[in-house]
Structure 1
Amino acid sequence: MSVELIADAIGVPVWALVPVALAAAAVLVFILDGLSHSVLKPGKSPPVIGTTPVFGGMLEFLKGPIGLMARAYPKYGEAFTVPVFHKRITFLIGPKVSEHFFKARDQEMSQKEVYEFNVPTFGKGVVFDVDHITRAEQFRFFANSLKSDRLRQYVGMMVKEAEDYFAKWGDEGEVDLLDALSELIVLTASRCLLGREIRETLFSEVTTLVHDLDKGMVPLSVFFPYAPIEAHRKRDKARKELAAIFDKVIQGRRESGAVEPDVLQTFIDARYKDGSRLSNDQVLGMLIAVLFAGQHTSSITSTWTGLLSIANKERIFPNLEKEQKDVMAKHGDKIDFDILAEMDELHFCIKEALRMHPPLIMLLRQCHVPFEVETTKGKKFVVPKGHIVATSPAFAHRMDEVYSEPNVYKPERFKGESPEDKRAYASFIGFGSGRHGCMGETFAYMQIKTIWSHLLRNFDFELVGKLPEPDYEGMVVGPKHPCTVRYKRRKL
């Protein structure tokens, strides 16, 4: 639910974009590729993968970014550049070279230019369709919706949705965990974000329209967000219909003076420093941005938490089950914000799942001011103005230099006086870091803890088949289907 996630979760992965409009872009790329070579200072910029005009490193991208980094890192090190179409993407791999990426101001390293293709989905006047100052104020609105007093209210809603959902499960059976948890996350998000009116009376209609918005984000959208294709037509139609629905809900609250404990209300009440407020359509745009930011990522992370814990059941479950028994002995069946905060074992399991399988495998920025990076081997490079700068949680989290046995699920790595993620700045970037660290991090942990606290107390699980592999073909990377688990309800 973070501003960082709003940028990066919605952003279509770069490797999915390579085949798009190749023929149309070829001539332009050839010209711009030559110009970019002429302005860079030899020996100062990071090494370039692929020197063939037009194609450059594009063929490497076609093989996927994780593979590209795995091949390039041993040869080029922590900083290298890949030309794609008329753009140059500089990769900064690992904590040492990524510090500026996370600490830089928006005027130096910006999200806006990279993600402007989201404007048709979010709408005018919000997020990527405003200047830095206005966006900073809108970020404040996001922050207000995630204050602790609000989170305490959201937890109650999360608990009710989880209890109602899992009450419909039988005494035993099999489910696809990703499908089940994705459905529950949508229900929870609708209640906490979109409001009581939507959840109680318009849920099915709104869910269908949001689905059309989601499917309207295709690779072509990144280069041609207004291209006259069917996916865009359905997207625009859905956006218009959602605006009509929410206009009635928002106007009804404004006129009646009703106050509800949800994110929708926060945006209705929000005021800029000059006293002006968001229009009804802009309130909707902010809601869409928040919903898109958290829906897929929370579904995926809650699924990986379960799959990895169940796959390592003998080693992981004793600690998880003991923690739940201890909490129940202390508080009974009650679950609230403070009780969830006591669940450290579950917290570390979620964090380790996010380390191993971050849904956002690429984070991107536009470089406006050249900056220098120094690698762990002492090599110095200048990242030129105009480059897109990329860093990868998925790759950095698996580096031997950062984590011990990085391919092993070890929640205990975050415990003790010297947790592995605190040894260097930006070692753990599952929620981003620095200026654009995830404001919704606490919300996400509360949401996933609510789900798995309930499941651990009420069900036994076994994994059916092998642990799924990551689906790198997806817009946001989750596990491949099937994600089947066998459950059996505990007898109280």
Structure 2
Amino acid sequence: MNKPLLNELEETRCAPPMVSGRLPLIGHGLEFLRDPHKVIRRGYEEHGMIFSLDLGLKKGVVMLGPDYHQFFFKETDGIFSMRQGYETLLKMFDKRLFTFAHLTESQEQMKVILPLLKNNDRFIELMVTEIDDFMANTLGDEGEIDLVEAFGPLVMHIGAHAFFGENFRYQLGEEYFQVYREFSQGADVILPSWLPLPKFRRSKQAKVKVEEMIYNLMQERRKNPLEPKDLFQELIESTYYGGRPVPDKLLISMLLFIPWAAHETTVGHTSWTLIGLLQNEEYLARVRRDIDEVVGDRQSYQSAELKQLKSIDWAIKESERMHPVAHVIMRGVRDDMEFDGYEVKEGTMVFVAPETAHNIPEVFREPHKYDPLRFSPDRLEDKKKFSLIGFGGGVHRCAGVNFANLEMKLIMVKLLQNYNITLVDKDPQPKKGLETKWPESPCRIRYSRR
């Protein structure tokens, strides 16, 4: 079997060097649960781009930097396994779903999904409608809100509208949001889902309910197809190559997974993007000038106009770099392997860590400085492939990343056009532990109509 980049020397190899601070029996496990970035950062400072962790029952290897990232993502369907990396998610989604499926099955599913997410311009109008509704009914003319609490429902409503249609959004939107949030609590990258914890029990109950909602909508749409077709109609009518229909159970899992992944990442990145702008008045002024010059006071937008607002694109990228909400990405090792002079055993967990990797000065100059212009054409600090990995990489890179970027951009344009905004909590910090790295509440803004 050909394994690119593997060291084929037969001499005995050692595991990558171990991070300091390992405790008897539990190793770095407890520290990792409390603050994975702290122990990973220490590993980088002690050993550089590759090192080992002792996670108690599991061993771990961390790989940092574009070259290791490339190997990590390239071998996801080879030496490395996503199934072994995210075993808890197998209880939440169908085992045949593209994220966990074998390569051929994953490729077939992506050929169904990617064309549906390719033309994101068709979502501009509905996104604007949802943001206008949010401003009218949640924000009003002035007030104070917690960013995560406010953006959570907004992002979920945009997703429900885009993926399930207008009727679903307005008939079941609020109930769907509440049930879906309970379902999402089942995602835990360390604790096994068989533990008798309330969050796992609630997640399983919510899964049954939300799957029933989606199935009922599928049956209704098959009896009364929507014309012109929206994304939901296109997906339930889609087939694999050769004309085979996609099984209903798998379709439901796709419709569970895509909004879940979009919600978990987009809420955090939208919050951090706005926080970064509000903390950096000079760059915020640049963004406001661009909005004034390109769209002025108009409240609806054309795709070509939005593409001119590069300063917002760079701010969104900088929030991904400085505050990646997917702070660790994991795989399991299928077989014993030798790589780059090291031996890594079957069953080891292999990590890439965007939160640490995005702060390596050899990749990003002055990494602790907020500087969206690092992504401008004259600098392009992310030009080396796999430098920026907040949305993953390779064939398993987030399929909805362009949808998410458009959504975040529209939210920024609308809010900055219509409000003067200041941070109440001046220095928000990421949530601790292994949770998605949203800003820790309270993370409040104060606003008033411009």
SS of match in other structure, 1:202: helix
> How far apart in 2 are the matches of 1:129 and 1:441?
19
2:257 to 267, 281, 289: 289
**Aligned residue in 1 for 2:122:** 153
> How far apart in 1 are the matches of 2:96 and 2:12?
41
TM-score, normalised relative to structure 1: 0.83
1:136 to 107, 112, 119: 107
Query: Which stretches in structure 1 are left out of the alignment for 5+ residues?
Result: 1-39, 375-379
- Say whether residues 1:482 and 2:442 are aligned partners: yes
Query: Which stretches in structure 2 are left out of the alignment for 5+ residues?
Result: 1-9
- Give per-residue Cα distances to partners, 1:222-269, cap 9 Å, x unaligned: 42x244544333322222222322222101111223246544223202
- Say whether residues 1:176 and 2:146 are aligned partners: yes
- Say whether residues 1:66 and 2:68 are aligned partners: no
**Aligned residue in 1 for 2:132:** 163
SS of match in other structure, 1:421: coil
Segment of structure 1 superposing worse, 193-202 or 258-267: 258-267
1:232 to 175, 187, 200: 200
> How far apart in 2 are the matches of 1:279 and 1:153?
27
| Aligned 1:433-448 pairs, distance under 5 A | 433-448=393-408
1:276 to 244, 253, 256: 244
TM-score, normalised relative to structure 2: 0.90
> How far apart in 1 are the matches of 2:419 and 2:194?
48
> What do you get for the CA RMSD once the two structures are aligned?
2.5
Kindly state the Cα deviation for residue 433 of structure 1 after the two structures are TM-superposed.
Answer: 2.2
Q: Alpha carbons of 1:263 and 1:371: their partners in 2 closer, same or farther (altered >3 Å)?
A: farther
Q: Alpha carbons of 1:52 and 1:452: their partners in 2 closer, same or farther (altered >3 Å)?
A: closer
| Aligned 1:184-333 pairs, distance under 5 A | 184-218=154-188, 222-223=191-192, 225-259=193-227, 261-313=229-281, 315-328=282-295, 332-333=298-299
| Aligned 1:304-383 pairs, distance under 5 A | 304-313=272-281, 315-328=282-295, 332-368=298-334, 374=340, 380-383=341-344
**Aligned residue in 1 for 2:7:** none
> How far apart in 1 are the matches of 2:24 and 2:446?
53
- Say whether residues 1:419 and 2:380 are aligned partners: yes
**Aligned residue in 2 for 1:29:** none
> How far apart in 2 are the matches of 1:485 and 1:57?
37
Kindly state the Cα deviation for residue 121 of structure 1 after the two structures are TM-superposed.
Answer: 1.7
**Aligned residue in 1 for 2:388:** 428
**Aligned residue in 2 for 1:463:** 423
8 A contact 2:189–2:434 mirrored in 1: no
1:394 to 343, 347, 355: 355
Kindly state the Cα deviation for residue 367 of structure 1 after the two structures are TM-superposed.
Answer: 2.5
SS of match in other structure, 1:113: helix
- Give per-residue Cα distances to partners, 1:324-368, cap 9 Å, x unaligned: 011125x95431333222210010011101110000100111233
8 A contact 2:239–2:246 mirrored in 1: yes
8 A contact 1:104–1:435 mirrored in 2: no
8 A contact 1:198–1:206 mirrored in 2: no
Segment of structure 1 superposing worse, 127-136 or 80-89: 127-136
> How far apart in 2 are the matches of 1:230 and 1:459?
40
8 A contact 2:326–2:354 mirrored in 1: yes
> How far apart in 1 are the matches of 2:293 and 2:101?
49
Kindly state the Cα deviation for residue 74 of structure 1 after the two structures are TM-superposed.
Answer: 2.3
- Give per-residue Cα distances to partners, 1:102-142, cap 9 Å, x unaligned: 22251222212222322332245434564332222122222
Kindly state the Cα deviation for residue 310 of structure 1 after the two structures are TM-superposed.
Answer: 0.6
8 A contact 1:88–1:388 mirrored in 2: yes
8 A contact 2:326–2:391 mirrored in 1: no
2:84 to 108, 113, 133: 113
8 A contact 1:173–1:488 mirrored in 2: yes
- Which AA in structure 1 matches 2:121? R
> How far apart in 1 are the matches of 2:186 and 2:41?
31
Counting aligned pairs with the same residue, the percent is 28
8 A contact 1:246–1:280 mirrored in 2: no
SS of match in other structure, 1:112: helix
**Aligned residue in 1 for 2:16:** 46
8 A contact 1:156–1:336 mirrored in 2: no
Kindly state the Cα deviation for residue 273 of structure 1 after the two structures are TM-superposed.
Answer: 2.4
**Aligned residue in 2 for 1:102:** 73
SS of match in other structure, 2:84: coil
8 A contact 1:175–1:484 mirrored in 2: yes
**Aligned residue in 1 for 2:4:** none
Q: Alpha carbons of 1:436 and 1:287: their partners in 2 closer, same or farther (altered >3 Å)?
A: same
**Aligned residue in 1 for 2:49:** 78
SS of match in other structure, 2:301: coil
8 A contact 1:153–1:261 mirrored in 2: no
- Which AA in structure 2 matches 1:328? V
8 A contact 2:324–2:437 mirrored in 1: yes
Number of residue pairs the alignment of both structures matches:
439
- Which AA in structure 2 matches 1:107? G
- Which AA in structure 1 matches 2:259? L
Kindly state the Cα deviation for residue 64 of structure 1 after the two structures are TM-superposed.
Answer: 2.0
SS of match in other structure, 1:86: coil
- Give per-residue Cα distances to partners, 1:261-318, cap 9 Å, x unaligned: 54422320221224222333322211111011110210111111111111111x1122
Q: Alpha carbons of 1:435 and 1:371: their partners in 2 closer, same or farther (altered >3 Å)?
A: farther
